Amino acid sequence: MSSLLPISLKAPQFWYRPRGWLARLLSPIARLYGGRVIARMRRPGARAEVPVVCVGNFTLGGAGKTPLAIEIAEILRQTGQKPAFLTRGYGGREKGPLVVLPEASAEQVGDEALLLAQKGLTVLSRDRPAGAALAVAEGATIIIMDDGFQNPSLDKDCSIIAVDGETGIGNGMVFPSGPLRGPIHDQVPFASAVVVIGPGDAGTIVHEFARGSGLAVFRARTTVDPSAPVLRGKRVLAFAGIGRPEKFFKTLADMGAIIAATEVFADHHAFSEEDASRIALRAQTAKLIPVTTTKDRVRLSGGPARIGLASISQTVPIRLVFEEERDLHDFLVKRFRLGG
């Protein structure tokens, strides 16, 4: 029950507006859902042989967990640790436990698992304790669990919550009235730290609330990786199937790209051959450069049209930069008594 929001369902706009009649109408269901989530979070879980850091969020949908997990792994490596990513392989058919190979397909393991596997040892397992055991057998000295904050099956030694600066916790209500997975005051005691990603008043509100609740708080921003292509002045067809594609489009605009056309898909969208053929033909006809995210790029496999679109598409990799990177380093060192 890490997410009951279907992959193909886009978050409704009323979640991010002042509480209206629809949110209030759904509130009885929200109370039942939220109560179930919190009751489940209180269940005891299995202990791993090494420390477990969970990178999760308070809300349904993406908030930057995967890039945050990647940056935390890099900080831990600097202290001499051997981190392993643990993921359930959202969107893939494999159940695991298994080590994710970089040459696997998104249909097998999901897009996020492939992105993580490009950065380090990654274990996919729907059964998180079994996945943790495999990670330890593969030499991990610490586990970074991508998502699963509300899943009690594996005990967490530290839970770091990603918060989108623009959307925060929306209207502050629980699904289906709002984006929260459970009442915020009931989730906070399970968290250790909050990282607000990007600017925005909504994120600032969560930042101050978390600080007032005794959590460690950090800020980060997304930045274009130096390996990104130069797109200034170039006419592009931007396509994306991520939680908030408008953020990707803004990144392209900030890079100086001329966005002549866009194609928007649901988060984790499984591109079909027809999708790929249409996008490629549209770009070719209008003499546009197809541009997409690294997360979408890994899903362009399995058929000639998808492979062809991948071969002509530019990708824009991003990374997180912390405003207080040394503070986060010190937080992790102190939390786990690491050298560094």
Known binding positions for ATP: 59-66
At residue 137, the 3 state secondary structure works out as helix
CA distance 151 to 19: 28
CB 197 within 8 A of CB 163: yes
Q: In a 10 Å sphere around its CB, with 0-12 CB exposed, 13-18 middle and 19+ buried, how is residue 155 labelled?
A: middle
Does an H or E element contain 231, and which?
A: none
Chain Cα centroid distance, residue 331: 21
What's CA 147's distance to the chain center, in Å?
8
Q: Output the known binding site.
A: 59-66
- Residue 213, classified by CB atoms within 10 Å of its CB into exposed (0-12), middle (13-18) or buried (19+), is middle
Cα dihedral 70→73→77→80 (10° resolution): -170
The token pair that represents 314 in the structure block: 């530019």
- 323, 299 contact by CB (below 8 A): no
- Give the helix/strand (H/E) hosting 291: strand 289-292
